[in-house]
Amino acid sequence: MLKFKTTALDRFKSDNMAIAVCEDGEIHAEPAVRELIANATALQEFTPERDRQVVLHNAMQGRVARCLLIGLGPKAKLTVETFRNFAGRAVKEAISARQNGIDLVVPLDPSLGLETAAVVSALMEGALLANHKDTRYKEKPKNNLLKQVGLCLPAGTAKRCRPLIARTEAICDGVRQAREWVNTPPNEKVPEQLAQAYAQMAAAAGLKVNLLHEPQLKRQKFNALLAVGAGSSHPPCLVEMIHAPAKPKKSIVLVGKGVTFDTGGLNLKPSTGLDTMKADMAGSAAVAGAMAAVARLKPDLRIIGITPIVENMPSGSATRPGDIVTSYAGKTVEIGNTDAEGRLILIDAMAYAVKKYKPDVLIDLATLTGACVVALGDKIAGVFSRDDALAHAIVAAGERTAERCWRMPMPEDYRELLKSELADINNNASSRYGGAIAAAIFLSEFIGDQRWAHIDIAGPAFLKKGPDYGAPGATGFGVRLLCDLIDHL
Ligand code: BES
Ligand code: ZN
Ligand code: ZN
């Protein structure tokens, strides 16, 4: 799919090429490209403001049949993310122009001030992620995606960046898988089906898989997870995906919330917003997608993905507000609100992970609270951890991948929001303020002194309009973040 093309641009031939153009300065070093840009910006119809574009035909003395120029705006504002978006836009334009492929010119002028490897990775990511359309549910799917994406760069740079191709392909495949799982309609991903999908992926990728079905969950007392599943005719289950090299330097457990549909249970949700609740398993999809990438990248770490999977439904057998259950960790929980179900399935999965694996780091991803979306908007995830270094590492990974994360506080005195008269704790906070924080504190009560961080992805998991390298709906948020983080822990 991805190819490096090292022929100098004053000789290079292409059917379809794209060049990024800055408003107020050069980012390309090659004279052939600079000349083409000078000619294009002399045209009335093109100015290199952000998101403006023009297509030139028979450019570069006829060697380039079709050349798309996209404006990036002022040079001082360029970031690595600008190049993900540029590549995404270019690929989408090429698809709608019925092209077979595209060659992206890598900007390499030293004055650009961005790391070359980061720019090359970003161009590849933007291109691969934009070259994806979910046509599984069309009667007559038409596959007009690009067959080939080239990156034009000098041989020396190509040599240094060569390993990035396989890495980026592995990660972007993980993102695309995660998106497809999240976009899958809820009638086709009831817990057993979603668990099978993850297990099949993991087995095919060469990971060890362990699937716990309802009888095992009952025997092992995953009572909080079982309580959430009680109203559904599709029983809950839990998948473990394990990457275990011979002598791992560290061990990491990733836990992802897998609610295949969240009606709220007996605390039924209002109809607005219900339609997106098929995406309430996005945390689990991010974990499974990251595990798919891990299986190919083979880091020298023991990495275990755990996904508790459940459907939250109201019915005669559903858990009632006021029910009390004994969680896997042993603490009792009064279920004050059946719509605060994510935290219930996570505490059992995490307590199980802590007991079984005692990892160096535990991270959970979950579409956990609407309150987090109120706090940070729908493009930024909330990070909760009492471990400063871990929180900083996650925020830094968010900056590199543009899967943005913002650290939130976990003040000890907010614990009192979760008091229960009868049980050890209530899953429903007594105040509607600070809901994302209360949820994180609730989770923290079940993992002892385990080094841990929680990432609330309720906002960025599912968007009406994604970035230029995404489609509306599932974003696959978390896969790139986790893969980057794993490399920096
Ligand atoms: N799945 C929701 C959170 C959510 C909301 C995700 C919006 C994506 C978009 C979660 O299970 C939930 O319902 N949380 C409640 C908690 C409350 C009952 C304490 C919420 O946020 O309102
Ligand atoms: Zn809920
Ligand atoms: Zn939920």
Output the CA 400–ligand 3 centroid distance in Å. 28
Ligand nearest to the CA of 314: 2
Q: Whose CA is nearest to atom 8 of ligand 1?
A: 458
Least distant ligand from the CA of 257? 3
Question: In angstroms, rounded to a whole number, what is the distance separating the alpha carbons of residues 305 and 239?
Answer: 8
pLDDT per residue rounded down to tens, the chain (489 residues)? 999 999 999 999 999 999 999 999 899 999 999 999 999 999 999 998 998 999 999 999 999 999 999 999 999 999 999 999 999 999 999 999 999 999 999 999 999 999 999 999 999 999 999 999 999 999 999 889 999 999 999 999 999 999 999 999 999 999 999 999 999 999 999 999 999 999 999 999 999 999 999 999 999 999 999 999 999 999 999 999 999 999 999 999 999 999 999 999 999 999 998 999 999 999 999 999 999 999 999 999 999 999 999 999 999 999 999 999 999 999 999 999 999 999 999 999 999 999 999 999 999 999 999 999 999 999 999 999 999 999 999 999 999 999 999 999 999 999 999 999 999 999 999 999 999 999 999 999 999 999 999 999 999 999 999 889 999 999 999 999 999 999 999
For the CA of 367, the closest atom of ligand 1 is 6
CB of 434 sitting under 6 A from ligand 1? no
Q: Is the CB of 210 under 6 A from ligand 1?
A: no
Rg of the chain over Cα atoms, rounded to whole angstroms, equals: 24
Q: Of ligand 1's atoms, which has the minimum distance to the CA of residue 312?
A: 11
Query: Helices H, strands E: what count in the chain?
Result: 14, 20
Which residues are known to be catalytic?
269, 343
CA–CA distance, 445 with 131 (Å, rounded to integer): 43
Q: What is the pLDDT of residue 245?
A: 98
Whether 364 and 256 have beta carbons less than 8 Å apart is answered as: yes
Identify the burial level of 156 via C-beta atoms within 10 angstroms of its C-beta, where 0-12 means exposed, 13-18 middle and 19 or more buried: exposed
Give the bridge partners for 332, in sequence order. 326
| Cβ contact 32:4 at 8 Å | no
Question: Is 93 a pocket residue for ligand 1 (Cβ < 6 Å)?
Answer: no
Q: Are the C-beta atoms of residues 381 and 459 closer than 8 Å to each other?
A: yes
For the chain, what's the residue count? 489
Q: Which residues surround ligand 3, an ion (CB under 5 A)?
A: 259, 262, 280, 342
Q: Separation of 458 CA from ligand 1 center, angstroms?
A: 8
Position 273 scores a pLDDT of: 84
Tokens of 398: 């968010």
| Per-position DSSP letters for 80-99, written without gaps between them | HHHHHHHHHHHHHHHHHTT-
| Domains, the chain, ordered by start | 2-153 (3.40.220.10), 168-488 (3.40.630.10)
- In angstroms, what is the span from residue 274 Cα to ligand 3's centroid? 10
Burial (0-12, 13-18, 19+ Cβ within 10 Å), 116 = middle
pLDDT of residue 51: 85
Report the nearest atom of ligand 1 relative to the CA of 264. 13
Question: What CA–CA distance (Å, rounded) separates 285 from 360?
Answer: 23
Q: Which residue has the tokens 């049949």?
A: 65
What pLDDT, on a 0 to 100 scale, did the predictor assign at position 466? 85
- ∠ CA 292-297-301, nearest 5°, is 95
| Helix, strand, coil percent content, the chain, rounded in steps of 5 | 40, 20, 40
Q: How far apart are CA 59 and CA 12, in angstroms?
A: 11
pLDDT of residue 221: 98
User: Whose C-alpha lies nearest to ligand 1, atom 3?
Assistant: 369
Torsion of CA 361, 354, 263, 416, to 10 degrees: -90
Ligand nearest, relative to CA of residue 276: 1
Nearest CA to ligand 1 atom 16: 340
